[in-house]
Structure 1
């Protein structure tokens, strides 16, 4: 597994403000092991597993050619009965009442880091587009597991706190609200994974995640390409920075 691909993920683990979102790392390269959990004997050595605290598991597997990678994203709660999982089963007896089939997903979101909002804007195809953005993200995400809502709120608050602090520091010239590139990348990676958790919900059709540099369209079935693209882009940001250590 390329360490460049892992660096943005390790930034999340190493930065105090985002470390809270990582529950477990498995099978990282030897140079990262001191900061991760013990390798999982049940996992392939070519697979890195990351369990988040907001109901999302990420797996990145290296292909047999040693160069290609594949990404798998899965919310653990989908295997349980939750508000997100429609209670629909085919009844053998036509006279037996049954729940309605799950409706087509209609929610489209843009996650935009706009101070004064909760960053959750309605996408162009969302029927609520005229309202521009969700006034209260916790209410908008109320159908999600509590851990998702809590993590999203904490993620937004982190940005707002840093925004206020950076605006009052005349020594601060980096075009971000964060004081180091590593903090900026860590916060963006955490947000990207949260965006995927929202995108994978049955009621969500798409999420557009904006980093300020680029936008990424998240839709079910397209996890691999866009996630690898995002991590590669963030690795380049770190590589061009002077405040990100090669090793911890």
Structure 2
């Protein structure tokens, strides 16, 4: 039950963020600052919760290969969706915003299998913090491009449902997987998260908030490190 609640709340932040972006007020500077802060927190969580356990318990070469494979997979899919398919059409737009959330939700679903409360708090908090400004900024930009507000909200609600379902499905399907292989799956998800941060999060943050991005990233990093110490 707790797993479902965590995943639904985190994905629900996409809907809340979309409503904020469509009907509320959000400056580019604040959006960039929040995105960078969330990115710093996510970077720490990906390293500590997803990648580091495999480095300590599994084969180092295979672990590093899994991380790289995750980053390559996200990069290729991001290129295909954004450059080849295009994100202006309804289907392309849905694919684009769904793809951006897949690494984080995959990571959350897998991490919830064996992570402790502090680890879950750090990772889920980072993703929730990331989802809010990303959805708000994306929905605001879509509204400015003359998309119907109802259509925009529907796309974000549908995305939240898809990501929640994929996280829950991944969590329950992988529950009985041996820890060695589970660690490699976490590394793959961690690599995908790193790829999404490099391609989507930090460039957007710098574009909107310029040099405050560095400070915001450091704040997010410190917050995530602190949350991880609470379970020690």
TM-score by length of 1: 0.26
Task: Choose 1 or 2 for highest CA Rg.
Answer: 1
Indicate the structure with greater strand content.
1
* TM-score, structure 2 normalization: 0.28
Larger relative contact order (Cα-Cα within 8 Å, sequence gap ≥ 6): 2
